[in-house]
């Protein structure tokens, strides 16, 4: 039996990204927007949410498209997938440009022969509090975090096969105003309503839309922001932050036909933090 405070007692092969694929997305064509891995100067850099979603979707049998503003980041993720026997298409796009959204969607549909799964993971933050945010920075954050999601969903509904699935990645910041970054928090909250609107629009053709809200996850961006502090790690549920793989698995479920009657829902992946499960 592990020690009561050992966080590893509750981490399994799935949470480490070590579980084999089970063919849950076999034959599917899935585009992940914001799928590249942010580079940080750490030898043991954790997997980001976007990369974990890409890698796992491909492992589960999907033909995967990875969109990222960094061509190098998209190519590295896809090269990793291909080296493991998967199928992946790297696509560079600055999603703050509406024309780039249209182009990247058209490129994937053309190369993949269609689309029946779409994950909208891209997001940025200025890191600025309300007293310092500018109009230009507010608009930039919203262009990436919310407008691009709307445009991809709009295009997706035009070309997606009946019975497809759209998954939005929001954040626990949509519920809890704790990071003092209003452009980020408000844009992430907007994703919740957008996801429900897309669910209503897609329902006549059997296209579902759902939203995943990660909590405190150990990602490259999180480490750059200094969130990997020992005091915070002890306070969160299970005494640890989540992994990108633990975000990816709910996304795979929502993309899969296992979730065929799950629509317009919000899934917090936070260990119960939002519900008030916080260690003293």
Residues paired with 165 in a beta bridge: 117, 208
DSSP string, the chain: ---TT-GGGG--TGGGT-SPP--TTTT-EEEEET-PPPP-S-TTPPPPHHHHHHHHHHHTT-EEEEEES-HHHHHHHHHHHHHTT-EEEEEE--TTSHHHHHHHHHHHHHHHT--SEEEE---------TTT--HHHHHHHHIIIIIHHHHHHHHHHHHPPTT-EEEEE--GGGT---SS-HHHHHHHHHHHHHHHHHHHHHGGGT-EEEEEEE-SB--HHHHHTT---HHHHHHSGGGS-B-HHHHHHHHHHHHSGGGTT--S-EEEESTTTTTT----
Q: Alpha-carbon distance 199 to 143, whole Å? A: 21
Integer Cα distance of 230 and 239 in angstroms = 10
- Angstrom CA distances, 133 to 127, 139, 186, 226, stand at 9, 10, 13, 21
Beta-carbon contacts of 56 under 8 Å, excluding residues fewer than 6 positions away, are 17, 21, 245, 248, 249, 251, 252
Based on the residue annotation, tell me whether 184 is a catalytic residue of this protein. yes
Catalytic residue among 152, 175, 184, 249: 184
Active site residue ranges? 184
């Amino acid at each position: 039996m592990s020690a009561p405070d050992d966080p590893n007692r509750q981490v399994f092969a799935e949470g480490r990204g070590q579980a084999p694929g089970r063919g849950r997305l076999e034959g599917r064509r899935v585009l992940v927007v914001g799928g590249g891995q942010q580079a940080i100067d750490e030898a043991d850099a954790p997997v980001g949410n976007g990369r974990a979603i890409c890698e796992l979707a491909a492992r589960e049998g999907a033909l995967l498209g990875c969109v990222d503003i960094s061509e190098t980041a998209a190519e590295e993720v896809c090269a990793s997938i291909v080296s493991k026997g998967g199928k992946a298409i790297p696509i560079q796009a600055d999603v703050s440009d509406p024309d780039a959204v249209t182009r990247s969607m058209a490129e994937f549909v053309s190369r993949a022969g269609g689309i029946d799964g779409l994950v909208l993971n891209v997001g940025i933050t200025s890191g600025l509090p309300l007293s310092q945010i500018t109009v230009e920075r507010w608009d930039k954050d919203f262009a990436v975090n919310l407008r691009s999601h709307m445009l991809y969903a709009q295009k997706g509904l035009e070309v997606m096969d009946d019975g497809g699935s759209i998954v939005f990645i929001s954040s626990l910041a949509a519920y809890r105003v704790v990071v003092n970054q209003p452009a980020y928090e408000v844009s992430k909250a907007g994703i919740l309503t957008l996801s429900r609107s897309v669910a209503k629009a897609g329902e006549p053709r059997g296209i579902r839309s759902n939203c995943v809200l990660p909590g405190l996850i150990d990602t490259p961006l999180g480490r750059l922001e200094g969130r990997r502090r020992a005091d915070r790690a002890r306070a969160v549920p299970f005494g640890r932050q989540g992994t990108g793989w633990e975000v990816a698995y709910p996304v795979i479920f929502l993309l899969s036909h296992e979730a065929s009657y799950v629509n317009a829902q919000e899934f917090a992946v936070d260990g119960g933090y939002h519900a008030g499960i916080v260690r003293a």
